[in-house]
Structure 1
């Protein structure tokens, strides 16, 4: 019989953690695996003693590290120092404790915001440290970059296999559907729900022209499980749909409108900023490993997310 694997997922009740749990419960779990999904209720990961107590309790052999202090644009602008210090503490504690307890592999989750603000496109894994990130969320971005530095340090000095993934814009069930300070797709889903319920206009901020690569959380979950089991590089890997699958905000909004069967008036509020026009990422490295991986069609994934939100509206984060 294969050796028992105990896989601890920090941030296990968030968007990606819930997606991994869903995928594990629907056919991805192997017989020798025990999956444990923890949240801030289980441990304060910015406190070393609390982190160590949780590892002592569960004795993981592998860790998927998703936990972070997160927020939208306005929170980042106001609390850049807090985002940096808290996330540095969380990440250092999780990796140090993983090493202390003999964890064989750690897969951490980064973000495309770590890439330089001024860069060429498509961005790839070699470009992370080529310049400063955007000034609006420099605290969070630099803290996430330091995971890559820690991974390399642990490998070179301690000989362990810690790595990281870099997803593009993630969406799906259990997202944060906050309207004012959240991400674009869950915000659109919440807006269309409210507009349909209240008989009001559906308002899209900006012109709708910026383009983004969106990855369905359950596709990301399947890929992260593959990384945990099969990816042996220390260098991070971008997990994203292809460049040709990039969609405009207008196209994303149309998919949401269709999924929600919205028949009302649609308005573009062009007094709102469009933000960055595009931040295209290359998934060439991913495709070199998994040329035949099938992503869920965008319309289907949007439909599933809209239906989940409608069903769980009262308890969804918003």
Structure 2
């Protein structure tokens, strides 16, 4: 009898990990011979080396998908820089090393577009990594995610395993964090405009000048891209990465200004009042657009348009009575 392929999804309780888990469950239902392994944060603390060591030896997965991370927007990154660098470094070191130590040959770790220099050329190519200073507001988090890439590359070089990294642009969708202080820009705008529309408030103030441009990818597209990259034959994957750089960008290849994004969210939520900018608040990087040509050449492209995706996300939000107060 053929042994089922055991796949461990680290971070399945988060937005991205949850979307990947749903895709894998759909594959199970379609007859794919896989066994899914998950643990909640209460069951397994990924920052604890001993716990991860014991878990990997007990479960012995064949494949690991590392979607667990401490994440947040500008405010959270500025307020908790030590937490962001420590927790993300520990998660990556523990999961990647303990996966290797128990014989895991294939691993996929998810990073972030913030790994690229603040002033790099747009759109951002994979080879822009480590070519200039990072955006100061999220530098600790970015350094941790760069370390994750280099961990995978180093284990590949020294031990011949197949550890891959995907770098998504800004993600959104069902399961997002809508906390008023610690959320990213899109869920923060959805929550703010929803409350203003609900309570009859005639003005919504957005952080910064509204001029920065951002790219947004629906989490279901990200889950699809992650499994696409994970499933690529090793020679195909290696042929489409750069020498000494094992990561691949994931995005839509299109961006919008924060002001345009706010106008779209206002329209979807039914807000009719004024939208004003607060230039005393930080803008962050002025543009973050991913070069996704490598992934496109391999045959993958995003399917969910931004307005449709925001509308779906808002509908999900409306069905979550506690979503505005949840924290990851």
Instruction: Give the aligned partner of residue 52 of structure 1.
Output: 53
Change in CA separation of 1:95 and 1:73 when aligned onto 2, cut-off 3 Å: same
Alignment-derived partner of residue 237 in structure 1: 248
1:247 lines up with 2:275 in the alignment: no
Q: Counterpart in 2 of 1:145? A: 146
With over 3 angstroms needed to count, the CA separation of the structure-2 counterparts of 1:273 and 1:88, relative to structure 1, is closer
Unaligned runs of 5+ in 1: none
Moved more, 62-71 or 4-13: 62-71
Query: Structure 1 residue 314: deviation in Å?
Result: 1.9
CA distance in 2, matches of 1:2, 1:79: 47
Q: Using the alignment, how far apart are the partners of 2:181 and 2:271 within structure 1?
A: 24
For the aligned residue pairs, the C-alpha RMSD in angstroms reads 2.1
Unaligned regions of 5+ residues in structure 2, if any?
Answer: 239-244
1:214 aligns with 2:216: yes
Find the aligned partners of 1:87 and 1:273 in 2 and give their Cα distance.
24
CA contact (8 A) 1:109 1:164 kept: yes
Whether the 8 Å contact between 2:251 and 2:302 is mirrored in structure 1 is: no
Q: Distance in 1 between matches of 2:292 and 2:233?
A: 15
Rounded to whole Å, the distance in 2 between the matches of 1:112 and 1:86 is 18
The residue number in structure 2 matching 1:279 is 288
- Name 2:7's counterpart in structure 1: 7
Aligned partner of 2:241 in structure 1 is none
What is the deviation of 1:119?
1.7
1:195 corresponding residue in structure 2: 196
Q: TM-score, normalised by structure 1?
A: 0.91
8 Å Cα contact 2:135/2:284 also seen in 1: no
Offset from partner CA, 1:169-213 (integer Å, 9 cap, x none): 000011111223321100011112211221113514144332111
- Report the CA distance between 1:30 and its aligned residue: 5.1
> Within 5 Å, which residues of 2 pair with 1:257-296?
257-260=266-269, 262-271=270-279, 272-290=281-299, 293-296=301-304
Question: Counterparts of 1:313 and 1:85 in 2: how far apart (Å)?
Answer: 32
Alignment partner of 1:223 out of 225, 239, 260: 225
Aligned to 1:129: 130
Moved over 6 A (4+): none
Q: 1:171 to 1:315 in 2, by over 3 A?
A: closer
Q: In 1, are the aligned partners of 2:317 and 2:323 still within 8 Å (CA)?
A: no
Whether the aligned pair in 1 keeps the contact of 2:115 and 2:129 (CA below 8 Å) is: yes
Q: 1:295 to 1:59 in 2, by over 3 A?
A: same
CA spacing shift, 1:226–1:73, aligned 2, 3 Å: same
Alpha-carbon distance between aligned partners in 1 of 2:51 and 2:198, rounded to the nearest angstrom: 44
Contact 1:42 1:54 in 2 (8 A): no
Any conservation in 1 of the 2:194–2:271 contact (CA below 8 Å)? no
Q: Report how many residues are paired.
A: 314
Structural mapping, 1:99-114, within 5 Å: 99-114=100-115
Q: CA deviation at 1:129?
A: 1.6
* 1:256 aligns with one of 265, 276, 292: 265
Q: 2-side partners of 1:147 and 1:84: how far apart?
A: 11
Deviation of the 1:306 alpha carbon: 0.2
User: CA separation in 2, counterparts of 1:133 and 1:269?
Assistant: 25
Q: CA deviation at 1:315?
A: 4.5
Match of residue 116 from structure 1: 117
